[in-house]
Copies of this chain bind each other. A is one copy, B any other.
Amino acid sequence: MSLKEVLGIELPIIQAPMAGVQGSALAVAVSNAGGLGSLPGAMLNIETLRDELSAITSQTDRPYNVNFFCHEMPEHSQKAEMIWRNALSPFYKAYSVDPDMVPVGSSRIPFNAKTAEVLEEFKPPVVSFHFGLPEEELLLQVKSFGAKVISSATTVEEALWLEEYGADVIIAQGVEAGGHRGMFLSHDLNSQMGTFALLPQIVDAVNVPVVAAGGIAEANGVVAAMELGAAGVQLGTAYLLCHEALTSPMHRTALESEGAKHTALTNIFTGRPARAIINLAMKELGPIHYGIPEFPLAASAITPLRTIMEAQGSGDFSPLWAGQNVTGCKAISAADLTHELASQL
């Protein structure tokens, strides 16, 4: 089955949902160009989610995707919180952050009944999830209004799980990919494979279409992924410099710098491993810091430092998400980039 048949898109190019650096504008541009634009819903409140979906549906009649995280909220751990705040305390002191004013908890709420209700109003053609799939009742609700469901696998085991539990399309997320690893059956980073190894093994293992993600930057990468059996590709990093992206000037500068060649998987920004350009915080505190609060609870304690540093024009404590291949980042329109990526198909 081609992605055209399953998702109704003209070009087998999915723009990866990237919470914090893009909204409806990028999604609309990619969908109107014939690819699948994605709205990251993971960090939106109900109000904004509704506004963004309205913005999309008023500007395109092509298929689009809305993405959510479906982690289980961990219990608050006093011990993990202490480990993390102790590690951060020299920086709190240096930048005059009062630890007592730093909130505990997180605003990243997993996909839930309220979000599903909003989706019911808009009936988005595609809904994608990160970290597995939501519980059965919610998944059935999403499927009941005709949405096709996508989720990411970082191992063959995860791909088989996703197929069994109802994913219509599976993204094979190679270790090259920027942002959060979609891993949900294992937390062992040794299990994470490069796209070249992961993609064909997932293609062999499942019957649903498989989309390649991780390391793809140019049109020849799209062709190479299709050669390895992909029905399409998903790119995030390549879209980060596009006019319609909301990538901060600081993040854009980092992506265009020599430093962008050096990324690592880090858990210090949220609690889960995600690939970012190596910055001061990752060097001093990570890239992997053991014992800190589980996703998404690690974010709260580091955020005040990020806020202070960003106000001074520094990305030293910002998550500068990027994959291992930033050579495809271009400061052009998302439509042009989408067409360029599909130009050798």
Contact = CB atoms under 8 A, between A and B. Distances in A.
A278 to B, nearest CB: 7
Copies held by the complex = 2
Contacts of A220: 200, 227-229
Interface string A275-304: 000100000000100000000000000000
Interface stretch (A38-46, A59-67, A80-88, A210-218): A210-218
A151 interface: no
A217 B176 CA distance: 19
Contact of A196 (B156, B224, B263): B224
A263 B191 CA distance: 7
Nearest to A157: B261
A59 B73 CA distance: 65
A278 B176 contact: no
Interface in A194-246: 194-198, 200-201, 204, 214-218, 220-221, 223-225, 227-229
B196 A174 contact: yes
Interface string A52-75: 000000000000000000000000
A176 B194 contact: yes
A264 interface: yes
A327 interface: yes
A198 B264 contact: no
Given A223-B227, A224-B224, A324 B197 contact: yes
A340 B217 CA distance: 29
A196 B261 contact: no
A227 B265 CA distance: 28
A200 B324 contact: no
A132 to B, nearest CB: 20
A175 interface: yes
Contacts of A201: 261, 325, 327
A221 B197 CA distance: 9
Contacts of A227: 220, 223-224, 227
A194 B223 contact: no
A190 interface: yes
Interface string A234-275: 000000000000000000000000000111110000000000
The 8 closest A-B pairs by CB, nearest first: A194-B194, A196-B215, A197-B215, A197-B324, A190-B264, A197-B325, A224-B224, A176-B194
Interface of A: 156, 174-176, 190-191, 193-198, 200-201, 204, 214-218, 220-221, 223-225, 227-229, 261-265, 278, 287, 323-325, 327
